[in-house]
Structure 1
Amino acid sequence: MDKYTDLIHQTFDFPTDEFKVENNELYFNGIPLMDIINKYGTPLKLTYLPKISSQIQKAKLLFKESMEKLDYKGSYTYCYCTKSSHFSFVLDEALKNDIHIETSSGYDMQIVRALYNKGKISKDTYIVCNGFKRERYKHWLSELINEGFKNCMPILDNLDEIEYYKEHVTEKCKVGMRLASDEEPKFEFYTSRLGIRYNDVIELYETKIKDDPKFELKMLHYFINTGIKDTSYYWSELSRFVHKYCELKKVCPELDTIDIGGGFPIKTSIQADYNYRYMIEEILRTIKRICKEENVEEPNIFTEFGIFTVGESGATIYSILDHKLQNDKELWYMIDGSFITNLPDAWALNQRWPLLSVNHWDKEYRKIQLGGITCDSQDYYNSEMHSFQVFLPKIPKDQPLYIGFFHTGAYQESLSGYGGIKHCLIPAPQHVIIDRDENGELVDWQFAPEQTSEAMMKILGYEV
């Protein structure tokens, strides 16, 4: 009999740093998942807070070591993209690690205030304000600057944005510019809708910033949607950006920082397949080389990591409700939730995550399709990053089978509308937080229960 455990051990170098199996049950970062399931039930979202800190420290160490190795003269600053997950427990954990914040919405400014009032950040914390800004966003960030948040930095996204700050900001103000990168060759559009055109950068500085003593252009922001990848497209865009930085630096002496957006990827399979150290060193080499050619001082570097910060801290756990054989060949396992409503990137982007059975590793495995319980034909999951199919244990009679999707900690709650109305009125699953105390022992608590029918009825306007 071919057991599920044999399949996983033959396919991967298993166990890994974060996954192991004891008594045919899966552990995730040392968490006995069956204990959590027995305590809380399914479906459930799980966040393991220590992983957030370990990811931040990993990136900081790699940049520090790479900068020392290459004798890179600039400094490094780690920012967290709040849009990846706005939850307070995520920000509280991330901010334990001496980091700064990148924002994309006016409502982020209220999060900044809440964090300041709780003593989580200071008025010296960098608040890198990205995005195309409505008046509310510009108003609230201007208030912060006027109240002494000296590193609250609007990143100009269009030519006229600076006019608002000229009128409403009363204190000395650092600003940045986002440059409009070209999109990936296969993309539908040629150039990003966000940012300043390369040809407009110098003129914008010289006509609207240079002679105004209130403003100081400190940062150029670089962002491409693919994230930081070892492709000719990425290196070409980065080189073009650094050349523009050097051109602007020659007329704008106070410019001293570049912000590398896009971020590092996370593991979408059980095995790591991305060389973070290599990519960091190549980025630094590219910047050093071009700056030397242009006779320009090497810039300080900001990164804004969102998915990398919080993604691998998350897991989504389901039980299999039943199995169905369709067309004499398609075996479906039906989960007690929905991919469309719980993991929307699986539906929208064909995103894949590490998928493992939580129990029954000693049972025979079979090829299956996973189906969600909405009425939508697109509510399914049937392939893995390492293979175009999914294998899971056979379901023993009268015994539940539990499965876990891992590294789901970024974007899924916000994209699916946390606490709102879901397709087919599928309730939002409960959310469980797991941490370690001062002795390293696991502690867990329920952040939110499963959404109730009363909560849905209130949102929909029905009398309850």
Structure 2
Amino acid sequence: MPRNQAKRVLRNISPDRNSDPLSTATEHSQQIACSPSQPGNGLPEEVAHSRAVQIRANADLYGIDRWGHGYFGISEQGCVEVKAPTAQGEKSIELIEIINGLRQRGLDMPVMLRVENLLDDRVSKLNEAFRSAIREANYQGTYRGVFPIKVNQQSHVIAEIARVGERFGHGLEAGSKAELLIAMSTLRSKDCLIVCNGYKDEEFIDLGLQARKIGFECFFVIETPKELSIILERAKVWNVEPLIGVRVKLSTKVDGHWSNDSGDRSMFGLTTMQIVNVVDTLKAAGMLHCLQLLHFHLGSQIPNIRNIRDGVTEACRYYLDLVQDGAPMGYFNLGGGLAVDYDGSASTHMHSRNYDLNEYCVDIVETLMNNLDAHGVPHPTIITESGRWTVAPMSVLLFNVLAVGNFDPDPLPDPLPENLSEPVKSLLHTLKDIDIRRLQENYNDAIYYRDQMRDAFRIGDINLRERALGENICLTILNKVAQQVPKLRRPSADLVSLLDSLSDTYYGNFSVFQSLPDAWAIEQVFPVMPLQRLDEAPRRRAIIGDLTCDCDGKLDHFVDEVGHSPTLQLHEIDEDTEDYYLGVFLVGAYQETLGDLHNLFGDNNVATVRITDQGQLEFVQEIHGDSISDVLSYVEYQPAELYQRFREMAEIAVRDGKITVSERQQMLGLFNESMRGYTYFES
């Protein structure tokens, strides 16, 4: 749900830490600690060593060094830390310290945390990597990236990209009129490109032409044949020459989830005949010199570098023929595709990639040179729209665990009831007969007799209490069998899956549909891990449930040390006394805007932080999430009208003697307070 800024409390925190008594995150009286004891505080050497070994084991278990891109790690205290690049080198802050600071400032979980340093670093690294590849290959063109606004449209994000990217000439890509208005009003340097993709009406084109008139290099990338006539007509009206590009539909197919963005059945781009018609139309209008850009897009996340090489090679043929047909060209736009290694496997899996940034840049430069030099065609300016890679690492979803549901059996009664049914007696016999040499048989018997017992309950042969006893006995058997499975050399598929089928559910204070829509919609894997107690071994296997009343409101696909797992290893917690926090990482691309209002859980709180050159934590921006009143207005309710209806019902209850006037006032006060409150669980 796009943020309704008029209904938000937006606070820009002063960067002057001396003038802000809450500018440090260490002054709160109820701080969350990483661990009950801290290394370096008198711990025996062997204990400190043991903790260090466990921290290393947990780093391997959750894969933080593989998917963290060097931005995240585990501190000596056993907490996840963000390792932020600064002018004075890398500075680290524990995420628990940031959470303490958020609590001081009145921001409850869940919170979408943005770390500005990481965004700045990504913009810089992308441009510097292309500059290095261009310099080393003696490539005669330049690189001028553009950030596709659709990947993360939030105002502070776009402003920061424009600020950091200005020295590189890093521009913006717009796929709608709203995004074009953002680009025109945010970019300050005319050295930054604006690329207009998507379907364009007359107003869209007029806006882009105004950008041209004030000095921007604003390209219209033709997506459909009819756009060209509108561009030429409006250019005459405004007396300005347009900059035109064509989006080609490559036959190259790519691996991964976004393969439909490529190939003959791609939804976007012009066919070869349509491109020829564009050239002929421009020639007839005496405007062929306006055609200067070639664009293609193979997919948002391309896991295999070979697909990128193949796509560039095919696109070069289009580029060469357009030049030979008289178009000046000069710009080669590869679109998106630079992948994020979400699972840390460095593979061709759809959630990973088998290349790094440097290889990506070098391969593009080399492929262009190899194809163009043979024909004596000048090297074009390289453009990429690397949105996902740029913003994914900067954002982490933080939330607390509210409750745990488990499949642990209750203690069996002693003595057991008499006159038990045969299925329940058989379950008791199976329980006594568990043997590691017969685990498969024990498992099969437990399932068989449990099903017999359930059938007997359905026809009324046993009552509810006996069924409950039988279910508990079966659960005891399955747990005992599961404990022995790791000792087997070749366990069956049934026994392996038993470990996961008995896993806990940790209920988190968030909505999958609002904060992690891709996890539900396209089964995107995001790294998830606890933020504290990482000097302890996690003993529980769990899936994560959200607050919604929906069976899809869960996370059950995780990154682990060997690849992917349907469960996540977590620590046993005391729900009544312990604050246990989890983080979902690499969520900076698409998630905030695509989120929806399932169960009327609205936008969560957002905080932007920066780690200073001195290693201090600066809270740059806080945006309070939707109130209940906000989300009700989104679905066409009038909060004032709802209040009036409830007031009338309360008044009738007073007249009827059901409640007192004092109780009426309490009810109305609670109603009003709830309307102003956060849609998520409040502590």
Q: How far did residue 123 of structure 1 move?
A: 4.2
- Distance of 2:593 and 2:281 partners within structure 1: 39
Which residue does the alignment assign to 2:554? 380
| Most deviating of 177-186 and 89-98 | 177-186
Are 2:565 and 1:392 equivalent residues in the alignment?
Answer: no
Q: How does 1:40-55 map to 2 (within 5 A)?
A: 40-55=107-122
- Distance of 2:564 and 2:613 partners within structure 1: 41
Q: Describe the superposition over 1:47-72 as per-residue Cα deviations: whole angstroms up to 9, x where unpaired.
A: 11121111111111211111122221
Unaligned runs of 5+ in 2: 1-49, 84-91, 347-353, 408-470, 476-501, 640-683
Q: How does 1:206-221 map to 2 (within 5 A)?
A: 206-209=280-283, 211-213=285-287, 216-221=290-295
Q: How far did residue 32 of structure 1 move?
A: 2.3
Which residue does the alignment assign to 2:512? 339
Counterpart amino acid of residue 245 in structure 1: Y
Q: 1:256 aligns with which of 330, 344, 349?
A: 330
Which residue does the alignment assign to 2:231? 165
Q: 2:374 aligns with which of 264, 282, 293?
A: 293
Q: 2:607 is paired with a residue of what secondary structure?
A: strand
Q: How far did residue 207 of structure 1 move?
A: 2.1
Distance 1:427 1:227, change over 3 A: closer
CA contact (8 A) 2:209 2:242 kept: no
In terms of fraction of residues, the more strand-rich structure is 1
- Structure with greater Cα Rg: 2
CA contact (8 A) 1:171 1:214 kept: no
- Distance of 1:268 and 1:322 partners within structure 2: 27
Are 2:543 and 1:462 equivalent residues in the alignment?
Answer: no
CA contact (8 A) 1:270 1:354 kept: no
Q: 1:387 is paired with a residue of what secondary structure?
A: strand
CA contact (8 A) 1:4 1:392 kept: no
Which residue does the alignment assign to 1:104? 175
- Distance of 1:429 and 1:185 partners within structure 2: 34
TM-score, with structure 2 as normaliser: 0.62
| Most deviating of 11-20 and 36-45 | 11-20
- Distance of 1:4 and 1:260 partners within structure 2: 44
- Distance of 1:459 and 1:286 partners within structure 2: 50
CA contact (8 A) 2:165 2:171 kept: no
- Distance of 1:94 and 1:260 partners within structure 2: 20
- Distance of 1:237 and 1:437 partners within structure 2: 41
Q: 2:290 is paired with a residue of what secondary structure?
A: strand
Q: 1:416 aligns with which of 595, 599, 619?
A: 595
Q: Describe the superposition over 1:247-266 as per-residue Cα deviations: whole angstroms up to 9, x where unpaired.
A: 11112342111011123122
Q: Describe the superposition over 1:401-452 as per-residue Cα deviations: whole angstroms up to 9, x where unpaired.
A: 10001111111011115xxxx1011132100010245755321144311210
Counterpart amino acid of residue 570 in structure 2: L
Which residue does the alignment assign to 2:81? 27
Q: How does 1:351-370 map to 2 (within 5 A)?
A: 351-365=524-538, 366-370=540-544
- Distance of 2:179 and 2:283 partners within structure 1: 26
- Distance of 1:258 and 1:214 partners within structure 2: 17
Report how many aligned residue pairs link the two structures. Answer: 455
- Distance of 1:10 and 1:433 partners within structure 2: 29
Q: How far did residue 137 of structure 1 move?
A: 2.2
Are 2:55 and 1:5 equivalent residues in the alignment?
Answer: yes
- Distance of 1:214 and 1:436 partners within structure 2: 50
Q: 1:41 is paired with a residue of what secondary structure?
A: coil
Q: 2:185 aligns with which of 110, 114, 134?
A: 114
Q: Describe the superposition over 1:372-391 as per-residue Cα deviations: whole angstroms up to 9, x where unpaired.
A: 12122111112224221321
| Most deviating of 92-101 and 223-232 | 223-232
Which residue does the alignment assign to 2:278? 204
Distance 1:446 1:275, change over 3 A: closer
Which residue does the alignment assign to 1:435? 610
| Most deviating of 156-165 and 375-384 | 375-384
| Most deviating of 429-438 and 152-161 | 429-438
Q: 1:192 is paired with a residue of what secondary structure?
A: coil
Q: 2:532 is paired with a residue of what secondary structure?
A: coil
Q: 1:114 is paired with a residue of what secondary structure?
A: helix
CA contact (8 A) 1:150 1:173 kept: no
Q: How far did residue 332 of structure 1 move?
A: 0.6
Distance 1:251 1:194, change over 3 A: same
CA contact (8 A) 1:123 1:150 kept: yes
- Distance of 1:112 and 1:295 partners within structure 2: 35
Q: 2:618 is paired with a residue of what secondary structure?
A: strand
- Distance of 2:356 and 2:158 partners within structure 1: 27
Counterpart amino acid of residue 158 in structure 1: T
Q: How far did residue 246 of structure 1 move?
A: 0.6
- Distance of 2:630 and 2:270 partners within structure 1: 43
CA contact (8 A) 2:605 2:625 kept: yes
Unaligned runs of 5+ in 1: none
Distance 1:210 1:432, change over 3 A: farther
| Most deviating of 332-341 and 385-394 | 385-394
CA contact (8 A) 1:209 1:217 kept: no
Counterpart amino acid of residue 104 in structure 1: G
Distance 1:7 1:288, change over 3 A: same
Q: Describe the superposition over 1:166-214 as per-residue Cα deviations: whole angstroms up to 9, x where unpaired.
A: 1112212211111123454785684212111123323311223564349
CA contact (8 A) 1:172 1:215 kept: no
- Distance of 1:462 and 1:10 partners within structure 2: 49
In terms of fraction of residues, the more helix-rich structure is 2
Distance 1:215 1:142, change over 3 A: farther
CA contact (8 A) 2:148 2:385 kept: yes
Which residue does the alignment assign to 1:305? 386
- Distance of 2:382 and 2:284 partners within structure 1: 23
Q: Describe the superposition over 1:211-235 as per-residue Cα deviations: whole angstroms up to 9, x where unpaired.
A: 4349611100021115444354443
Are 2:154 and 1:92 equivalent residues in the alignment?
Answer: no
Distance 1:281 1:168, change over 3 A: same
Which residue does the alignment assign to 2:23? none
| Most deviating of 406-415 and 173-182 | 173-182
Q: How far did residue 311 of structure 1 move?
A: 1.1
Counterpart amino acid of residue 193 in structure 1: M
CA contact (8 A) 1:361 1:393 kept: no
- Distance of 1:130 and 1:41 partners within structure 2: 39
Counterpart amino acid of residue 457 in structure 1: L
Which residue does the alignment assign to 1:405? 584
- Distance of 1:392 and 1:13 partners within structure 2: 15
CA contact (8 A) 1:267 1:407 kept: no
CA contact (8 A) 2:299 2:337 kept: no
Q: 1:400 is paired with a residue of what secondary structure?
A: coil
Are 2:131 and 1:64 equivalent residues in the alignment?
Answer: yes
Q: Describe the superposition over 1:151-171 as per-residue Cα deviations: whole angstroms up to 9, x where unpaired.
A: 111111111111112111221
| Most deviating of 184-193 and 271-280 | 184-193
- Distance of 2:392 and 2:637 partners within structure 1: 36
CA contact (8 A) 1:80 1:306 kept: yes
Are 2:265 and 1:191 equivalent residues in the alignment?
Answer: yes
State the superposition RMSD in angstroms: 2.6
| Most deviating of 183-192 and 435-444 | 183-192
Q: How far did residue 125 of structure 1 move?
A: 3.0
What percentage of residue pairs aligned between the two structures are identical?
Answer: 20
Q: How far did residue 127 of structure 1 move?
A: 0.7
Q: Describe the superposition over 1:336-375 as per-residue Cα deviations: whole angstroms up to 9, x where unpaired.
A: 1121221101111211122221112233312111111212
Q: Describe the superposition over 1:249-297 as per-residue Cα deviations: whole angstroms up to 9, x where unpaired.
A: 1123421110111231223136766422122212222111111233322
| Most deviating of 427-436 and 6-15 | 6-15
Distance 1:92 1:125, change over 3 A: same
